[in-house]
Structures are given as structure tokens and as C-alpha cells.
Amino acid sequence: MAQQQTILLTGATGYIGGRLLRVLKQNSYTVRCMTRRPEALKHLEDTSTEAVYGDALDRPSLEGVFKDIDCAFYFIHSLGSKEGFVRQDQIAAQNFSECAREQGVKRIIYLGGLADPDEDLSDHLKSRLEVGDYLRKSGIQVIDFRASIILGSGSLSFEMIRTLVEKLPVMIIPKWVMVEAQPIAINDVLSYLVAAIILETEENRVYEIGGANTVSYMGIMKEYARQRNLKRLMIRVPVLSLRLSSYWLGLVTPLYARIGKKLIDSVRHPTIVRDPSALRDFSIRPRSVEKAITDALSYEEQEFAETRWSDALSSSGRAPRTWGSIRFGNRIIDSRTEIVAAPPEQAFIAIRRIGGDRGWYYADWLWQLRGFLDLVVGGVGLRRGRKNPDHLHVGDALDFWRVEIFEPGKRLRLLAEMKLPARAWLEMEVRPVAGGNTEIHQTVMYDPIGLWGLLYWYALYPFHYFIFSGMIRNIAKQAVQPRSDDQP
């Protein structure tokens, strides 16, 4: 197939679809995103991307969605539904494929789960396989990928593994954690999906895809712990019911029990590639588990994951929170905003002058106390101050912080260098809003290391709330009361 003028993408508000959207655009495809909430994608719309409403469970809403489309990606599932998700998956696949055929679509690319259809599968895995069958029944050509565990920053499985290892120095390991799989990196999955657009074949294809290693969930946990320098004791137990396991996951991970039970009910089955045809028909050579985890951690060093499994509409539920702070994977994000009647350049003056002799705009005695305690345990404390009272540069020391990002008049990000059982950042940003006003945005980012890192956050959160709330309020006051020597 020649490169398509326009690709239809479902699930663009979810983990796989959101990542794929960016890759498709990088490959110069025009993308039409079908979603039940197009407003969530408005910020991504441009000359190569549009968002349209469509609900696969509501067939009339699909009229016109496929106009001028030759190839469509199908990433729709009902895993987050309280009940009846199997039947909902069937209806959605039927509606989508039949409407696509009627409107001239030539190929559907689908991503499902890897499993042996001859086994007594969970409802979730069985439904994933059946969706491929329902898509093919329409008569449209279907390229059906069946993937093992997907490892990537933000993927459901990776978030579960990471949170368990980070939070629990001692882990009870039930039998399902020992089941073998071939975990595959998210970037390798995306490579397969994009390559399938131009795959030269006129037939339906089913491809089993997995990584270079055969390993269990326990093996993945051990590798994650090794790369994070965490010592973990894992104790095997002969039984642990699915219900108890799901409640356990709901208690200590971002998964809520309904999703956790369906996930565990699926991972108790081996996900091993038996048909190597994907290696024959594609030039992609999937990476190892070690490299997949390294890449996932490295990606989060560059930026918090582009998309999260919890962003998907089908996952539903509120974002997990910790005492008012949002959880993004292992990181805890505490964010505040203030609107001021001043231009961004003026509002930023107080931000670039923060620290040193001027202090931190609120409760300076608490900052001094924290600096003293840091010195006591061998840290840098507040003795470094700042080089220049009015100007900052990337790399400058600023009390017990280091300037990591500095965009004059726009953004300042500081990396914490005090003694902490975590890594932490403080970011201040100004953005223009309606009426000539400015939004001051303050974000504290905290990446705990192990259980002690979490306990530290929980214990000090009331103080953090008190200090950072007061800080942004006073910065907002300074923004509208510039001194005579204030120059942007």
C-alpha cells in the first residue's frame, strides 16, 4: 500500500493511540482522530491532525468518519466497564468494521493481546482475540497484532510493576507473578504498527509480537529494582486469589480493583510468541527487557510520559491523588495557579529573583530550618545563596537548588540538591491568558525512592502545602506591585 493521505486513529486519548499519533505525524501522515471527547484533542489539532466525534457503540455517529480513509487503527476496548465488556467489545468491533467497509476503508490495523486460543482464557483475553475475528467478518483486510506485556513509561503493566517495586521493600509473590511472557517495548510496538500501514499484502494477517527475552513478571520486577538500585525481598506463596490480588493492587498501585482483577486474570496465562512470522515480514528486531526498562526510565528523565494508560476514556475513574497531589506513575505532582493583572514579563520578575538574600517569599524561617537540617546531615544547606541577585543561568546554584531550565520571561525549573530520599523539582511558569492577564503556574515534582521516599512526602505534605501556597500568593502580589527598578 502506498503512504495514505489520511489515517483514521481511534484511542488517541489513550496510551498506545496517543503515542502513535505523534509517530504518525513524524512520518508525515495526516491523521483523523475519532474519539468520544474531541475537546480533549483540540490542543493537538493542526493542518495534519483533526479530531472528530465518533462512538463505536453508536453506529449512526460513525457516518462520515471514514470519508477519504484507506487505513484505520482500531484501539477500542471496554476494559474499564463495570459489566458486559465482552458484549460491548463485540458490538463496537462490528459497528466500526461494517461502517468502515461501507465507506471504502481498505485496511484495519488492530492491536490485541497475545494468548493461546486453545487455553481456557480469561474473559478479557478471549475478548481481545474475538475482536479481531469480528473485524475480519466485515470483509475488510485486518492486520492483527497480538502483543505480550507492553513496557513503556505510562503503560498499565509498567506502572503496576514500578509502583510495587518502589513502594514495597518486601513483596509477597503469588503464582501468577511467575508466569512467563515476552515483554515488548512500546517503541517496538509503535514500529510494528506504523510499518503495517505500508505492508505489501492483500490477505488478513495475524502477527504475534514480543520482546527478545522470555521472562516472568517477577523477572521484570527484579530488573526494575536493579536499575533503580533498590533492594527488594520477594517471598513466593503457593496461592493468592485473584480477588485478593486485585484488592492488593488497588491498595498499593495506580490500578483500581476492577481493572486489577481483569489484568491479573489475564497475566496468569503465558504470553509467549509461537509464530515468528512478524520477524520474517518486518525488519523490526525487538529489544530486550533490560533495554525496554532503561528506555522507559530514560524517557521520563526527558519529560513526564506523553500519554498515560489512565488518560484513556475506557479506563475511567479519577486520577489517583495523594493528599491533593496528582500521581503520574511513580512521581507525585503538586500544582497551583494564580491569575494576575500583569503581562507575563512583569509577572516573571519575582520568579527570577527568588532565593538568596531575597528569600522564598513566604515562611523564610522554615526554609532556613530546612537548610540547617540539610547541613546537619551533610547537605549543602542554604549557604550557597545565588551568584547574582537579578539574573539566572542554567547550571547556577540557588540555595539548595540548581537551575535546570531557565527561559527568560517564561519558565524556571529548579532541581533539588538537598538531602532527600527522592529526586525533586520546583517549576514556576507564566502564561498569557485572556484580558491581558497572566497565569502563574507553580509545580512541585517529587520522585520518591522506595518506601522512605513516600513516607517523607506523606509526613511533610502539610508543611509543603502551607509553604508553597503562601509562596505563589506572594509572588502574585509582587507581580502587580513592581518596584521602580524592576526590569524584565
Query: What percent of the chain lies above the pLDDT cut of 90?
Result: 50
Distance CA 92, CA 94 (A): 6
Rounded mean pLDDT of 258-274?
Answer: 70
Q: How confident is the model over 216-265, as pLDDT tens digits?
A: 989 999 999 999 888 889 888 776 555 566 556 655 555 544 455 556 66
Distance CA 332, CA 330 (A): 7
* Lowest-confidence region among 13-17, 129-133, 164-168, 304-308: 304-308
Q: Which residues fall within 8 angstroms of residue 486, CB to CB, at 6 or more apart?
A: 346, 349
Kindly indicate the confidence band of residue 116, based on its pLDDT and cuts at 50, 70 and 90: confident
Question: Which domains does the chain possess?
Answer: 6-317 (3.40.50.720), 325-479 (3.30.530.20)
Locate cell 520477594: which residue? 234
Q: Which helix (H) or strand (E) holds 265?
A: helix 257-267
HEC assignment per residue over 179-213: CEECCEEHHHHHHHHHHHHCCCCCCCEEEEECCCC
Across the chain, mean pLDDT equals 84
